[in-house]
Structure 1
């Protein structure tokens, strides 16, 4: 029921007749790689030929470095069973991994992945990305929090809007900062939002519903939704996947 309410709310906004309605883009698949079906993907990051992944659920949360060709983790660091891991981002020589409701972020040395610090924050942690100056964080609300990259202190909270209206809460999930945009998985939907980082306005909707076949969708367990966006600046392509999906897709976003 909750999923239907969220999708209905999103559809109501998307379907509003307006000249300002943002374009709908599609992911064009360039390559498909295997993905560990035990990985409940919460955060995804690409850096210098390696894929880093934060996986969630209590008792199953981890930080991983993954070989993209095989989908097999080269490093798999489990979190304490008390934590539900969430978004992941690199800031210089550190990786920052959020937790959902524990109010803690774990900071790892990069690239050794040695845990070096724990940061406390108020509220929930969902997605995290950096534009090189600031961290953008989603928290289950209709807003993005802007944080200092060094201290993690909250600087500002900005509303995210679609066609001039505040989006419903519990949509903004995993984040990826690319240029002037923030890409955000819309939780429990097949959409990715492209958000103007300066205004908070969604200026494109990416419809990823065609990535999986009906048979592949039928084989997924409840909650195994689209989640995980990583950008490769060398190839200018994106890697996207879902929670417990068996595939990772390298894509570009195109106008249909």
Structure 2
């Protein structure tokens, strides 16, 4: 995905402000690592009913997948139309819902068979997607997170995400975790924990060092992919073309 975000800006927006204020900066510990398809350009990730569901990107290579956590085996996979660039993914009732980057087109899939059951349209770009149990939450590369009605896909609200009063763009993969929105910040090693009521970043999770666990293939192989198992309170993270998926605990900051 061709999105411009400088490393220097990442440092200015995250490391310096976070350490210069009372904003908690969390670390991590690896609980377990699992195999992950290194050809998967991960865009969206979720855990449900004992399996991972994953969306991958790149035109002509975008897919929706059902994956076995323990060994990374792809149990089912369907391709998106070759003209679109797959992005975020979430679940709603018996459906998976996915968005695309610049096509303004989303898809609905039967969660059991992965057969396409519908399409919808939205304005702007699509990056990440999750839900809070009542609304879909969409990121689009700007500091805005948009709320959608999951029954008709109409926009019903919006918040602007800020860190220490400064807007934060490039919010990518999203996950709803214990009443907060977790968001990967594209081309950084950070996940931000967002208050859904006001868009303020409550804490930053610094995953610097996680990529030392494997050999990356290229510059696009960045952190992107968050899944939460609410039944067992397990948090999983991975990245684009990463050969591993990690179960981690967040450490070093108050919940």
TM-score class, shorter = over 0.9
TM-score, length of structure 2 as denominator length: 0.93
Question: Which residues of 2 match residues 81-100 of structure 1 at below 5 A?
Answer: 81-100=82-101
CA spacing shift, 1:20–1:199, aligned 2, 3 Å: farther
CA spacing shift, 1:20–1:121, aligned 2, 3 Å: same
Q: Find out whether 1:201 has 2:212 as its counterpart.
A: no
Taking the aligned partners of 1:111 and 1:239, their CA distance within structure 2 comes to: 22
Q: Find out whether 1:234 has 2:231 as its counterpart.
A: yes
Deviations 1:11-64 (A, max 9, x none): 213313787441111121111000000000000010010000000000110000
Taking the aligned partners of 1:17 and 1:139, their CA distance within structure 2 comes to: 24
Using the TM superposition, give the Cα deviation of residue 129 of structure 1 relative to its aligned residue in structure 2, in angstroms.
Answer: 0.5
SS of the aligned residue for 1:198 comes to coil
User: Quick check: 2:19–2:25 contact (8 Å CA) kept in 1?
Assistant: no
Q: Find out whether 1:22 has 2:23 as its counterpart.
A: yes
Taking the aligned partners of 1:16 and 1:58, their CA distance within structure 2 comes to: 37
Structure 1 runs (4+) greater than 6 angstroms displaced: none
Deviates more, 1:58-67 or 1:22-31: 22-31
CA spacing shift, 1:63–1:212, aligned 2, 3 Å: same
Residue matched to 1:39:
40
Deviations 1:206-242 (A, max 9, x none): 111121218x35x421211000000001220111000
Using the TM superposition, give the Cα deviation of residue 165 of structure 1 relative to its aligned residue in structure 2, in angstroms.
Answer: 1.4
Superposition CA RMSD, Å? 1.8
TM-score, length of structure 1 as denominator length: 0.93
Q: Which runs of 5+ in 2 are unaligned?
A: none
CA spacing shift, 1:21–1:71, aligned 2, 3 Å: same
User: Quick check: 1:131–1:179 contact (8 Å CA) kept in 2?
Assistant: no
Deviates more, 1:119-128 or 1:9-18: 9-18
CA spacing shift, 1:157–1:6, aligned 2, 3 Å: farther
Deviations 1:55-78 (A, max 9, x none): 000011000001112212110111
Deviations 1:184-225 (A, max 9, x none): 0000001001101111001111111121218x35x4212110
SS of the aligned residue for 1:126 comes to coil
User: Quick check: 1:180–1:198 contact (8 Å CA) kept in 2?
Assistant: no
Question: Which residues of 2 match residues 79-118 of structure 1 at below 5 A?
Answer: 79-118=80-119
Q: Find out whether 1:182 has 2:181 as its counterpart.
A: yes
CA spacing shift, 1:117–1:17, aligned 2, 3 Å: closer
Taking the aligned partners of 2:247 and 2:189, their CA distance within structure 1 comes to: 16
SS of the aligned residue for 2:83 comes to coil
Q: Find out whether 1:251 has 2:252 as its counterpart.
A: no
SS of the aligned residue for 2:124 comes to coil
